[in-house]
Amino acid sequence: MKDKIVAVILARGGSKGIKNKNIIKINKKPLIFWSIKACLDSKKIKSTWVSSDSKKILNLAKKFGANTIKRPKLISKDNSSSEKAWLHAINIINKNEKIDTVVGIQPTSPLRPKNSIDRALTYYSIKKLDSLFTAEKISDHFIWKKAKKKLQANYNYKKRPMRQRIKNNFLENGSFYIFNSKKFLKEKCRLFGKIGYFLMKKIYSFQIDEKEDIQLINSLNKYF
């Protein structure tokens, strides 16, 4: 029996950084359109859901072909975690269909390689993972921080290493997460158990958080 896989896109109406962020125009379409499209293009995702406290976003989601979940205001605040919204959505969906795997999509990441969700789901299944995050491979760059009013480096600046010799790390890029639905309801955390990652190139790791990001993303329209 195949796993029942659903996508849940969290798209709150409010945003501190950018007003109405999830419906601003990116490459001539509302931002949320690109995540809905990526899910509907998937051959593995059975159904796509948008959870929001905003009627405008929910109406757009229906127009673009997604199912909708009205999210309570109590879990739609600036300090409300994505986990709370996913828990609410999964419980709603489970009333109609028992689901096995959730793809938690972040609409602030409109750029995704073609078939990336399906390829990540295949990897998730083959490796028998409990949860997975998308990531960008980065080097542990020359980072400085302030400690007791002094600058401290994370490397020996007197013996500066070659960039190529710096160890690689994996930075969550926030594009999407995959996790076992039943275990998530117990853990109440998006990453748990046997965790894996799915690599994406830097070009697909840009997120829209600040106003300057809009101009940057729109300049990358050939990657949509």
| From 12, 112, 119, 160, the catalytic residue | 160
CATH of 5-138+169-223, one of 3.40.640.10, 3.10.129.10, 3.40.50.1220, 3.90.550.10: 3.90.550.10
Q: Can you give the residue ranges of every domain in the chain?
A: 5-138+169-223
- Tens-level pLDDT at each residue, the chain (224 residues): 578 999 999 998 877 768 889 999 999 999 999 999 999 999 999 999 999 999 999 999 999 999 999 999 999 988 889 999 999 999 999 998 889 999 999 999 999 999 999 999 999 999 999 999 999 988 767 778 898 889 988 777 788 777 666 677 899 999 999 999 999 999 999 999 999 999 999 999 999 988 889 888 989 878 88
Whether the full predicted model's pTM is greater than 0.85, yes or no, is yes
Whether 160 is catalytic: yes
| 187-193: long-range contacts, CB 8 A cutoff, minimum separation 24 | 188/83, 188/87, 189/83, 190/82, 190/83, 190/86, 190/104, 190/131, 190/133, 191/131, 191/133, 192/130, 192/131, 193/129, 193/130, 193/131
